[in-house]
Amino acid sequence: MNIWKGRFKGGLHPKALQFSSSLSVDRRLFEEDIDGSLAHVRMLARQKILRAADAKKIAAGLERVRRELRAGKLPLSAPAKGRFVAEDIHMAIEARLIDLIGETGGRLHTARSRNDQVALDERLFLLSQTSAVLGEIRALQKSLLTLARRYRNVMMPGYTHLQHGQPILLAHHLLAYIEMLDRDYGRFSDSRTRVSLSPLGAGALAGSSFPIDRRGVAKQLHLGGILDNSIDAVSDRDAILEFLAASAVTMMHLSRLAEELVLWSSREWGFIEIGDAFSTGSSIMPQKKNPDMAELVRGKTGRVYGDLIALLTTMKGLPLAYNRDMQEDKVPMFDAADTLRSSLTIMALMIPSVKVLEDRFEQELDADFSTATDLADFLVRKGMPFRQAHAVVGEIVQGAAERRVGLSAFALADLQKYSLKFDGTALALTRSRASIEAKKSAGSTSPAEVAKALLRWEKKLGRPRGRHRYGG
């Protein structure tokens, strides 16, 4: 099908057609394309731009094309002797429509361009993907919350610089990821307001001379409104970029969690075991149990970063309005959506398989110096300036390190060698549990604050959510 044969004497060179065709990629948008076309043709009928009978015939033809595509009965490749040659999914659908219902199918494209058509398809795709991502984020949060409640009394070393910092509850550590994911949820949720705007009716760039009802089409598609400027409607891809940016941040959070699962399941750390269903072995080393799912999530993060940079680079130098470069927006969009969703899903499934080896956490805490800050705070409460207290406790830590013992091994007489301000109540502060229970600030690792956080998240994540496919 040569849509510009009136202007050109001949068709594209076969290699040029092959090079420029996006059908192998954008065929994935056929549902969105047909949804948009149905809304468009019904509007044309309401506005008396098309006869009602023609609109009905076109709508029936589009639904038949949809059924054929869903069933895989409509070949979208372009064979050398095929009945039509399509550059993209939009022309493939239109060509099949004309093949089915005759020249009436050619009326479908009245008052629109492929420029506003594809921009709409992409926004509908983003809305459906965003709704799915929101559900998958919630599923992962629920998995983390279940793990946190299961091990809510387990202590662990809290880390900075990958060194022991202060004792914390494992549940507090896991809740940190739930908080991160909730901000990710907020970014995707907030983006829907900007994505849910219809570009249809912008035409190629200048709008249409037909009396179309753009807002009516947007309402029919459950969108929040229209893009007001016809040039902007077809020439920007910030909706995709925002999705990619939110995906990159979410993947960063998943990668950090994956990294800790990899570290904690190693023999050197030995804090957890990941279930067999989410681990692999070695083709040569019989003893191996590798955290491959976590490693793959960590590795796939770079792909999503690349998707974002690829589209930013494509868009950065383009003059208004539409340029064919923008055809390259779909590969990163699809790849990021697929990668993020599969990563969220596998993490949500893997987390419940994690078994925490509680005694290993206890061993680490018994032999470390992570209650040092509590001893310094004790001296401050006794009137010593913090910097002086910091230095005193630093000497205590040095002494413990030389003796190769943890702070919990010190007796009162040992502490008083460094300061007579220490009394019997200071000894309890060398114990990790006492350190954790001493915390008083909101959002801290104290058992009371962690219990409140667990209850808050249990209430929040239990709320049902339901949405139209395109976010309405």
**Could you give the residue numbers annotated as active site?**
161, 282
3-class secondary structure, 369? coil
Pairwise CA distance, residues 148 & 158, whole Å = 15
Largest CA distance in the chain: 100
Pairwise CA distance, residues 125 & 31, whole Å = 9
171 preceded by cis ω (within 30°)?
A: no
Angle at 394 between CA 392 and CA 395, to 5 degrees: 70
Pairwise CA distance, residues 49 & 112, whole Å = 12
List the structure tokens of 387.
């910097």
Pairwise CA distance, residues 40 & 31, whole Å = 14
- Per DSSP, helices labelled H in 47-113 are 52-71, 89-101
Q: For residue 269, how far is the Cα from the chain centroid? A: 29
Helix (H) or strand (E) holding 239: helix 238-264
Distances (CA, A) of 1 to 78, 153, 170: 10, 68, 63
**35, 36, 37, 43 alpha-carbon torsion, rounded to 10°:** 110
Number of residues that make up the chain: 472
List the structure tokens of 344.
């969220």
Neighbours of 133 (CB within 10 A): 23
Pairwise CA distance, residues 345 & 123, whole Å = 23
Pairwise CA distance, residues 183 & 272, whole Å = 27
